[in-house]
């Protein structure tokens, strides 16, 4: 069963909310619960950050794959032989990634410094029935 990421984020927020009084109450400063609660809060915050990062990464991947599929269909519609499409799309992607950051298309993230391999481009095109 897959858990909704938004529900998971909400649960982690509530978890931190319930643990915060343990770290802030003056009567519990020297208590043995304090380091445990502190550690649990830090772990919950790190987990929440990982979930949010994963959601953002997924959006970037969907945008990239959509651009690759669109380019593959463009080459297919222009009459390019099917066996050359993956290579042409890979070359196009490499050219786009090699551009300076101000000239790049919006779906290429700033951290991207290398294009996908030709094999990865080929699998994206096959998975989406372009090839």
pTM of the predicted protein model: 0.71
Task: Round to whole Å and give the CA distance between 83 and 75.
Answer: 11
Query: Residues 73-129: pLDDT tens digits?
Result: 999 999 999 999 999 999 999 999 999 888 888 888 877 778 899 999 999 999 999
Nearest to 129 by CA among 58, 81, 73: 73
> What is the pLDDT, as a whole number, of residue 57?
87
**Tokens found for residue 52:** 């949010």
pLDDT at 52 over 90: yes
What tokens appear for 111 in the block?
């951290």
pLDDT at 1 over 70: no
């Amino acid at each position: 069963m897959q858990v909704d990421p938004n529900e998971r984020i909400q649960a982690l927020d509530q978890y931190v909310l319930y643990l915060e009084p343990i770290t802030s109450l003056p009567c519990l400063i020297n208590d043995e619960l304090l380091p445990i609660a502190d550690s649990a809060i830090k772990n919950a915050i790190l987990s929440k950050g990982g979930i949010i990062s994963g959601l953002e990464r997924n959006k970037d991947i969907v945008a990239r794959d959509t651009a690759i599929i669109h380019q593959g269909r463009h080459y297919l519609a222009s009459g390019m032989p099917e066996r050359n499409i993956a290579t042409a799309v890979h070359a196009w992607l490499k050219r786009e990634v090699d551009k300076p950051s101000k000239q790049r298309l919006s779906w290429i993230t700033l951290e991207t410094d290398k294009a996908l391999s030709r094999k990865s481009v080929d699998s994206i095109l096959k998975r989406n029935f372009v090839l």
